[in-house]
Amino acid sequence: MILMDNIVREGSRVLREVAKEVDMPLSEEDLALLQDMLDYLKNSQDPEIAEKYDLRPGSGLAAPQVGVSKRMFAIHTTDEKDQLYSYGFINPKIVSHSIEETSLENGEGCLSVDREVEGEVPRYARVKLQADTLEGERVTLRLRGYLAIVVQHEMDHLNGIMFYDRIEGYAGPHKKEVPRTAL
């Protein structure tokens, strides 16, 4: 079971690495890790379990955040129609995106960042994601709104980018310059 102690915090080098493609078919070890990552998100959103194990709630978790530099992330969250998106993604790619941008009103947070960071994080309003899943399927998902933002945040982790790198004028600790167009 993944606990907060297992989550790598900002300042760790693994969060700045470009994660490696995962060999397919998925090894038992990678499968177990991705399942554990998804379980963390589910547990963290269950008030009783979260309190018992002191878990910070999260919508997404990327493998580098548990110290593994591989291209995998999990999401567990609902869209505006209350439909649940619960996935473990392997070798995900954003194959296209809108020109239109969006951002979360109250900024973004991250399980690897133990502080509030204010500021607008510009994201594409819509993205098309292609990936293999925990269930062994190849999926293409068209995502918008909060889900599109979560997926872009997690994709950034696979590319060594932290959300505050994208805040204009942010000059706090651990900031790294990223090209405006990096996806």
Which positions lie near Co ion, rule CB under 5 A?
110
Calpha distance 58→45 (Å, rounded): 7
Q: Please list the alpha-helical segments (H only) found in 1-137.
A: 28-44, 47-53
Estimate to the nearest angstrom the gap between the alpha carbon of 40 and the chain centroid.
Answer: 13
Distance CA 92, CA 73 (A): 8
Max CA separation in the chain (angstroms): 43
Nearer to Co ion among residue 110 and residue 167 (C-beta): 110
In the complex, what is the shortest distance from the CB of residue 19 to Co ion, in angstroms, rounded to a whole number? 13
Report, in Å, the least distance between residue 153 CB and Co ion.
6
Residue of 29, 100, 108, 154 marked active site: 154
Is 108 a residue of the active site? no
Residues of the chain by 3-state class (helix, strand, coil), percent to 5? 30, 25, 45
**Nearest residue to the partner Co ion, using Cβ:** 110
Instruction: Indicate the residue among 24 and 183 with the shorter CB distance to Co ion.
Output: 183
Instruction: Output the smallest distance, CB 113 to Co ion, in A.
Output: 7
Per the CB < 8 A criterion, the answer to whether 152 and 106 are in contact is no
Q: 94 - beta bridge partners?
A: 129
CA gap 94, 84 in Å, rounded: 20
Nearer to Co ion, 52 or 175 (CB): 175
* Least distance between Co ion and beta carbon 92 (Å): 15
Nearer to Co ion, 105 or 137 (CB): 105
- Catalytic residues, which ones? 154
